[in-house]
Amino acid sequence: MKKDFTPTLLDFGPLQIYLARHFGFCYGVENAIEIAFRTVEENPGKRIFLLSEMIHNPQVNADLQAHGVQFIQDNYGKQLISFDTLNADDIVIIPAFGTTLELEDKLNKIGIQTEKYDTTCPFVEKVWNRSEQIAKKNYTVIIHGKPKHEETRATFSHAAFSAPAVIVKDMAQAIELSKYIKGEKKPAKFYEEFKGQYSDDFSVTHDLQRIGVVNQTTMLASDTQAIADHLKQVMIEKYNLTPETVEERFADTRDTLCYATLENQQAVSGMLQTTADLAVVVGGYNSSNTSHLVELCEENLPTYFINSEEKIFSPKEILHYNFHTKEEIVTKNYLPEKKTVKILVTSGASCPDALVEGVIKKLASFFTDANNIDKLINQFE
C-alpha cells in the first residue's frame, strides 16, 4: 500500500505549521532509552557507565547524567574515563549505535558483562549480519558511512573481523576508490588517501576484485543508492560483466538504511511539496540522520537547524547550526513579515517529541492573533 507522506497542518491562523508525517524518535532510540533508565532503576548503588553518548541528543544525555550515569568516551572515541578505573561490579551500557569488537573484548576482560546491558539497535545488527553474509561469500565489504561515527566504527569492526573492509564517506571517495579498482591510481596512494578507513593487511591489488556495499543506517537514501550504483557500474566495466555474471564481482546489495531514516526522509520530501517560507529542523547537532533532513530541506528553502526552542531568541533572531561549517550562527529577520507565515517542521530520530512541541509553541507565541496552541496540539494527542 502506498504510504501517505503529506504533512499535518497545524493552523494557528497567521502561522501555519506543516509538520512532517513521520518525524522524531525511532524504535532503536526509544528502546535504548528505556533500557538505560530501567538499568538505573534496578541497580541502586552500582556505578553505571555508558560507553559513549546514548543517542545524539543533548537533553537525553544530560538527563541520564543527572541520574548518575557516566560516559566513558565522547562520541568521537575520545576517552573521558580510563578503562583502568572500571571493575567487574560496574555496569557498562552499550549504546544504540553498537560498539566495536575490540571495546567489547576489553570490557569482557575486565569481567563486565556487555551482553546484559546492550542496547544496540536491531537495525544496526542487521547491517552487521549483511556484512557477514557478504564476507562469507568472499566479497570485500565497502561501508558507506561517516568514518568517525560510532555506528560506522562498530560496523567496520564487525565487517573487518571476517573480511577486508573499506569505509567510503561520500560519492567523491567512492569515485576515488573506483580509480584503484580500475588500476588508474597507484596502489601505494590508497593507504594514505584512505588512512584509518581500511582493515589491517588490506591489499589494494587483491581486495578490490569482488565487492559488496553496506551503509550506515542513517545516510541519505539518494547518496547511498548512487554510490552502490556507481561501484556496481565500475565493476561491470572493469570485468565486462553482464546482468547474469555481475554477481561474480558485485554482491547483490540493497541499502541497509533503517526504516526510520527512510520514513523521515520520505516524509521530508512529502513536506517539501508544500510551498512554505522556511523550515525548522530540530535535533542534536552531531546527529547524522538529522543533518540529512536539513540537507534535503535546504535545497528548497531557508532552513534552520536547532537543538531546542531556546535557540529561537525572538521573532527577529534565531541561533542555528550550520552543519557544513560546524558552527552556530545567528540569523536576523528569519520570520517574514506577511499576513500568513508558513513553516515546515521536522525532527531527527534522536529528538524527543517534547522538543518539537516546545519549538512550535515558541513560534506560535510570536503571533498575537494565533489560535489557542494547547487546544490545537491536544487534537493530535
Indicate the residue among 95 and 270 with the shorter CB distance to ligand SF4: 95
Stretch that binds ligand SF4, among 45-53, 116-124, 130-138, 297-305 (CB under 6 A): 116-124
Beta strands in the chain, from DSSP E residues, in sequence order: 8-11, 15-19, 48-50, 70-71, 91-93, 140-144, 165-168, 211-215, 278-282, 303-306, 317-322, 327-332, 341-347
Spatial CB neighbours of 328, under 8 Å, sequence gap ≥ 6: 311, 319, 320, 321, 322
- Contact call for residues 340 and 14 (beta carbons, < 8 A): yes
DSSP string, 49-96: EESS-SSS-HHHHHHHHHTT-EESB-TTS-BSS-GGG--TT-EEEBPT
Q: Determine the size of the site formed for ligand SF4 (CB under 6 A).
A: 15
Min dist. Cβ of residue 350 to ligand SF4 (A): 7
Question: Is the Cβ of residue 253 or residue 350 nearer to ligand SF4 in the bound state?
Answer: 350
Output the CA torsion sign for 172, 174, 177, 183: negative
CB of 55 to ligand SF4, least distance (A): 7
Residue whose CB is less far from ligand SF4, 56 or 342: 56
Nearest residue to ligand SF4, scored by beta-carbon proximity = 28
Residue 321 main-chain phi, psi, to 5 deg: -95, 130
Q: Which is nearer to ligand SF4, 52 or 289 (CB)?
A: 289
Sites for ligand SF4 among residues 5-44 (CB under 6 A): 26-29
Comparing CB distances to ligand SF4, the nearer of 118 and 207 is 118
Rule CB under 6 A: say whether 164 interacts with ligand SF4. Answer: no
Could you count the other beta carbons within 10 Å of the beta carbon of residue 90? 17
Rounded distance between C-alpha atoms, residue 350 and residue 284, angstroms: 7
- Least separation in angstroms between residue 285's CB and ligand SF4 is 16
As measured in angstroms, the least distance from the Cβ of 331 to ligand SF4 is 28
Question: Helix 171-181 and helix 221-239: axis angle, to 10°?
Answer: 10
Give the residue among 280, 336, 339 at the shortest CA–CA distance from 312.
280
Q: Which of 60, 112, 260, 306 binds ligand SF4 (CB under 6 A)?
A: 260
- Using rule CB under 6 A, residue 352 touches ligand SF4: no
Q: Which residue number, 124 or 227, has a Cβ lying nearer to ligand SF4? A: 124
* Binding region for ligand SF4 (CB under 6 A) out of 75-83, 192-200, 258-266, 371-379: 258-266
What is the C-alpha to C-alpha distance for residues 358 and 375, in angstroms, rounded to an integer?
Answer: 15
What gap in Å lies between CA 168 and CA 149, rounded to an integer? 12
From 1-9, 199-207, 226-234, 254-262, span contacting ligand SF4 (CB under 6 A): 254-262
Binding to ligand SF4 (CB under 6 A): which residues in 165-224?
217-218
SS3 195: coil
* Residue 284 touches ligand SF4, criterion: CB under 6 A: no
* 94 contributes a contact to ligand SF4 by CB under 6 A: no
Taking the complex as a whole, how short is the minimal distance between the CB of residue 8 and ligand SF4, in angstroms? 22
Using CB under 6 A, pick the residue from 19, 51, 86, 96 that binds ligand SF4: 96
Q: Which residues are marked as active site?
A: 151
Q: Which is nearer to ligand SF4, 100 or 289 (CB)?
A: 289
Going by C-alpha positions, the residue among 170, 164, 175, 169 that lies closest to residue 141 is 164
Q: How far is the CB of 214 from ligand SF4 (least distance, A)?
A: 13
Q: Hey, is 177 helix, strand or coil?
A: helix
Number of DSSP helices (H) and strands (E) in the chain, helices first: 13, 13
Binding residues for ligand SF4 (CB under 6 A): 26-29, 96, 121, 123-124, 217-218, 258, 260-261, 289, 349
